[in-house]
Amino acid sequence: MVVETIQIGKNGVTDNFILSLVNRFKKQRLVKISVLRNARGEGKEGKKDVKRYSEQLLKAFGSKYTAKIIGFTIAMKKWRKPQR
């Protein structure tokens, strides 16, 4: 299984970023999103920023998607049925 990778830069989660992510989910079920240094703070603030980005993405995509945070990377997965 090929895993697509995309990066969040200093602009954060924008409409264009979401459109790009939608296009990747048309081909893949799992996409890894790495949060670059200029998009997050240092130390614990950086972890909070990654969590905030994850929540924004899940809110935008709905209940068929889940996210897992690993370091400064968000692994989003698309499911066939809505998750709780």
The DSSP result for the chain, as a single string, is ---EEEEE-TT-S-HHHHHHHHHHHHH-SEEEEEE-GGGS-STHHHHHHHHHHHHHHHHHH-TTEEEEEETTEEEEEE-SS---
Domain ranges of the chain: 4-78
pLDDT at 28 over 80: yes
pLDDT at 42 over 80: yes
Which pLDDT band holds residue 82 (cuts at 50, 70, 90)? confident
| Mean pLDDT of the 42-57 span | 93
Per-residue pLDDT at 43: 84
* Confidence category of residue 75, pLDDT binned at 50, 70, 90: very high
Write down the CATH number for the domain with range 4-78.
3.30.110.60
